[in-house]
Chain A
Amino acid sequence: MLFLSERKEVVMSREDLLNIVPLFILTSAAILILFSIAIKRNHKVIYVITALSLLADFIFLVTVDTPAKGIIEPLFIFDGFGKFNFGLILITALALTMLSYAYFEQREERKEEYYILLILATLGACTLVISKHFVSLFLGLEILSVSLYSMIAYLRKRKRSDEAGIKYLIMAAFSSAFMLFGMALIYYTTGSMEFGAIASYLAPFSKLPLLMIAGLGFLLIGIGFKLGVVPFHMWIADVYEGAPLPVTSFIATVSKGGIVILLVRFFLQINGHQYTSLVVIFSVVAIASMFIGNLLALQQQNIKRILAYSSISHMGYILVAFLAGGSLGIEAVAFYLVAYFITTVGAFGILTTLSDSQRDAELFDDVRGLFWRRPWTAAIFSAMLLSLAGVPLTAGFVGEFYIVAAGVQGNMWLLVIILVINSAIGLFYYIRIISIMSEKQEAIDRPEVTLKPSVYFISGITIAALVIALFWVGIFPDRLMTLIRFLIFS
């Protein structure tokens, strides 16, 4: 398989060091912020530091040419796939930082520590996408989750924020317990925690040994929880609703994305496609996620919750491509993640600009008649929603096309057809929001949200960039496709 490595020496070479620098940059940024807070609390400064460090990190990643496939035994692997998603996560984090500034600038609480948590969470996600070992997996995951706990509950004054935090904490810890136990079982059977070694242990088996099944099952529970696929989806809506908007979008994009990549990596490494039991389990999960997610969102009145439920079904879609496997499948997953990140961040970004200092804009009444109050905002939001629905001209369409293509190539007709049915169901609640926005509401004169001009500016360019990306990827996807393919096959 692709990512299987033969090298075994444990000494750390120079390019290994180069490879790992991006992680260092993130860590040091966190520390830097810590110090600067100690010196003086200044939101703007902190925000600038964060943004710059993320940017720098990204630039370093893409400019400094590191060997095609660097491996740091036994924990990390720096292949194109990993790097691509590393970069993707960094960019997303950057966009979220922008939005977070716009969001927190008008909040009363102490804003500064938030950025430490943001960076640490990003660090965790990045660690996930390059890890090839249970230890690094575990570390990445926990860095991510622990910082998320406090991010979710960051706005202490809000009941819901706190409630969401606690729910997420207990559930996450619970699921990590499962996951750890699973790891332990796998370790117990295989005698290694490194993906490659596990794979080579499993290679002879045509059918999985019992303990292995138990282990993988527990592992899957942990992963499934973070992905928020059925039947581990129940926390999603509440956490999305309770968390501050930027955090919500962080959970929706970065944390899930990291896990997806990890899942793909692990699954391909142990060549899961050859085990019917695994394939069946994943298919069942995928189908259930698609249906239940969409049905839950169907008549939902709260936009945040709608997006939460829709994310469940989107994870289901991704699983379809993931199950289709093959290179097209992996490409599809990567591409879909890009599209999904752009769209989700965009959608939540719009909600961010609509929110005032008291509460987030999440109810239908917040967007009712938006087309006539703020046409551009409404238009962009509809674009984002249509992209989620997979309508042409948008990135979401190409993503969906990619997934369906992968599914068809893999002859997974059942899954693909269910996907089609579901995107028809899903269409309903997306266009429902649009129709709410287009309702003729001269009557509604709710106090217009007033933000500081700087805030407007920042969130403005961020969203503008996202929109451009949305349509660019939607209409000229070839660049991105070739890039992904190049990175995967290099």
Chain B
Amino acid sequence: MSDLVWLIPGLPFVGAVILIFGGTNLPRRLVPVVGAGSVGLSALMTLFIGFEFLTATPTAQSYQQVVWNWIEASGFSVAFAFHLDVLSLVFIFVITFVGFLIHLYSAEFMASDEGYARFFAYLNLFVGFMLILVMADNLLLMYLGWEGVGLCSYLLIGFWYLDEKNGYAARKAFIITRVGDTAMVIGLFILFKTFGTLNIAGIQEQAPQLWVVGSSQATLIALLLLGGAVGKSAQLPLQTWLPDAMAGPSPVSALIHAATMVTAGVYIIARTHVIFELAPIALFTVGVIGALTLLIAGFSALTQYDLKRVLAYSTISQIGYMFLALGVGAWSSAIFHFMIHAFFKALLFLGAGAVIAAVHHEHDMFKMGGLRKKLPLVYWTFLIGAASLAALPFVTAGFYSKDQILWLSWASEKGNNWLFLAALIGAFITTVYTFRMVFLTFFGEVKTQVTRVPGLAINISLVVLAILSTIGGFIEIPHSMGHVQMVTDFLSPVLPVTSIRPGIESSEWIIQLAAAILSIGGLLLAYFLYMKRPSLHFKIKNSIPHLHSFWLSGWRFDSLYDWLVVRPFVYVANINKNDPFNGPYNGVVRAANFFHRILSFTQSGILRWYLIGVVIGAILILTLGIWL
């Protein structure tokens, strides 16, 4: 069975190929069957293979499969090979299952779109590349997946290409991530020069022997890899593309810009954790970036009008949490939160998509309201997702994953109070903007009438995700209440268990209490501001207009980059448009023509003139001869 591993990414590609070549000729009903079907199949494959992998060979750390030898050039050798271990298994699981649900959703959601087949082709392509990314056994192949998903993200953001600004959003997303990727590629160069291989396992073995902890080279490489991660996962300072990426259809936002692709950064850091552990500075940087990002994005999310933009900023901030977890060495918690986040954020985006479709593509929350009657199912599932995002205590999965991060950011050896504080504040803000969103959208008086009620496919996927994002949390329960550690144990073969500062386990419940109180408090605040005294938040807004617009614009990062990079580049490009290097050559030509004119003036056609010429020549020659 497990020698069919290659089928897991293979099937979506097959689907994509069929859809591309079938194109418009394919009967419309067949399109979702192929699209969703292929992904569903690979989800099943994942189940079987995962089961076999876990049961049949309990001792085995990992399973490799070389499909073919990709590049083999005088010492540089890279295979097109897959690597299966528990870490990749988690990601594969999430990608295929959430991916399948979202395909299912799209089957209905996009049904009326002219680019139906194209959409599913892109989506399958994406799933395929994403699977390659997480299954690659060497960094080059991972980079292939890495760029592949970037490409698909570009295509899907700009899916509605008729509107130019979608195109620009797509382009922005792509180029910004490319900046990160370039850093990562340079990292690969150094890795190859150091280890003579790009094979992840190989690097993980050699690194500890080669480097002592804190060696400069390890730090450099780690930082470069971090650059790539930051770009893909929309972390500081490359986070600006994600909010604009909402130009894509909602399923795309759900799949790519919430559940899977944006967490690739988390994956690569977890994957190369050996290097990061050898580079404490880099690891600390990860944590700091996470902390800063989750705050910045949180504040921006507070001020957004656009439903999807709120979710986008919240995604940024949640990934910030994951980075924070990685930064404090809480590897498994990061992965855990990734999984839970995949569930509830996908759910939220799908819900938002349904809402927006229902109110004929109105994005502004302030123009919505009172939808809880009209769209009950969407409302309830959305509420569950929101609760999970806000980490309401005990019942939601989000609580357990985020709580673990909070706890470890304080308790872990690598953690410290500041990071913890940031996480805490972040948690509070999260709750506030989450329920701001909920209240504005579903409560209050009705502002728009509903035109389209979601059908079966959408409902199924919403419900399933809702369930997942509730029970998903119970696989990992902290010491203080019953101590389940499925995820940690599960991942322990790959990811080291976080080492806690000695003698503080007892105080864990305090943290949990704080977290719980904060989230409840946030909920109450949101209720107070947006339900009880709706006028109040306008007052607040008007009292701090500058700060508000500053947050609304995502801390003005866009205009900053515009001034720093874009304008100079475009300016230089345009002044050089006509290729200054032509100048010298034209100069030569002009000189030649000039001399031509001078000389042809001497050809006056007058006989005596010519005679004088001869005489002058004679004099010159004689003088030359005598002088030499």
Contacts and interface: CB of A to CB of B under 8 A. Distances in A.
Q: Are A and B interaction partners? A: yes
Interface of A: 166-167, 170-171, 174-175, 178, 208, 210, 213-214, 216-218, 220-221, 224-225, 230-232, 234-235, 237-238, 276-278, 280-281, 284-285, 292, 295-296, 298-300, 425
Contacts of A281: 621, 624-625
Contact of B614 (A166, A216, A232, A298): A232
Contact of B617 (A221, A235, A280, A296): A221
Give the top 5 A-B pairs by smallest Cβ distance, nearest first: A231-B617, A277-B628, A234-B610, A298-B596, A213-B625
A425 B589 CA distance: 9
B456 interface: no
B626 A210 contact: yes
Contacts of B613: 231-232, 234
Nearest to A171: B610
A218 B621 CA distance: 9
26 contacts: A170-B611, A171-B611, A210-B626, A213-B625, A214-B625, A217-B618, A221-B614, A221-B617, A224-B617, A225-B614, A230-B617, A234-B610, A234-B614, A235-B610, A237-B603, A238-B603, A238-B605, A276-B628, A277-B624, A277-B625, A280-B624, A280-B628, A296-B596, A296-B599, A300-B600, A425-B592
Given A295-B592, A298-B596, A234 B603 contact: yes
Which of A166, A237, A276, A298 has most chain B Cβ within 10 Å? A298
A266 B118 CA distance: 85
Given A235-B610, A295-B595, 6 more contacts: A167-B607, A214-B622, A216-B625, A231-B613, A234-B610, A299-B597
A296 to B, nearest CB: 5
Contacts of B617: 221, 224, 230-232
A307 B625 CA distance: 31
A170 B609 CA distance: 12
A234 B611 CA distance: 9
A234 B608 CA distance: 11
B620 interface: yes
Contact of A234 (B592, B609, B622, B624): B609
B568 to A, nearest CB: 39
**How many B residues are at the interface, by size bracket?**
20 to 34
A169 to B, nearest CB: 10
Given A174-B611, A295-B592, A299-B593, A213 B622 contact: yes
B547 interface: no
Interface in B566-599: 592-593, 595-597, 599
A180 to B, nearest CB: 14
B616 interface: yes
Contacts of A292: 599
A375 B595 CA distance: 35
Given A231-B613, A235-B610, A221 B618 contact: yes
Given A210-B626, A281-B624, A425-B592, A171 B614 contact: yes
B215 interface: no
A332 to B, nearest CB: 24
A231 B616 contact: yes
A404 to B, nearest CB: 22
Contacts of A221: 614, 617-618, 621
B600 A296 contact: yes
A208 B625 CA distance: 9
A281 to B, nearest CB: 6
B602 interface: yes
Nearest to B616: A231
Contact of B625 (A217, A235, A296): A217
Contacts of A171: 607, 610-611, 614
B593 A298 contact: yes
A215 to B, nearest CB: 10
Nearest to B618: A221
Contacts of A210: 626
A278 B626 CA distance: 10
Given A231-B616, A232-B614, A276-B628, A217 B622 contact: yes
Given A170-B607, A280-B628, A175 B614 contact: yes
B218 to A, nearest CB: 55
Nearest to A298: B596
Contacts of A285: 621
Given A167-B610, A276-B628, A217 B603 contact: no
Which of A175, A217, A232, A237 has most chain B Cβ within 10 Å? A217
A235 B602 CA distance: 11
Contacts of B600: 296, 299-300
Contact of B596 (A174, A175, A225, A295): A295
A378 B375 CA distance: 82
A294 to B, nearest CB: 9
Which of B600, B605, B617 has most chain A Cβ within 10 Å? B617
Contacts of B621: 217, 220-221, 281, 285
Contacts of B625: 208, 213-214, 216-217, 277-278, 281
Contacts of A220: 621
Contact of A284 (B597, B602, B616, B624): B624
A300 B617 CA distance: 24
A217 B607 CA distance: 23
Contacts of B607: 166-167, 170-171
A278 B621 CA distance: 10
Contacts of B596: 295-296, 298-299
Contacts of B605: 238
B627 to A, nearest CB: 8
A234 B605 CA distance: 9
Given A174-B611, A296-B596, A299-B593, A213 B603 contact: no
Which of B593, B595, B599, B626 has most chain A Cβ within 10 Å? B599
Contacts of B595: 295
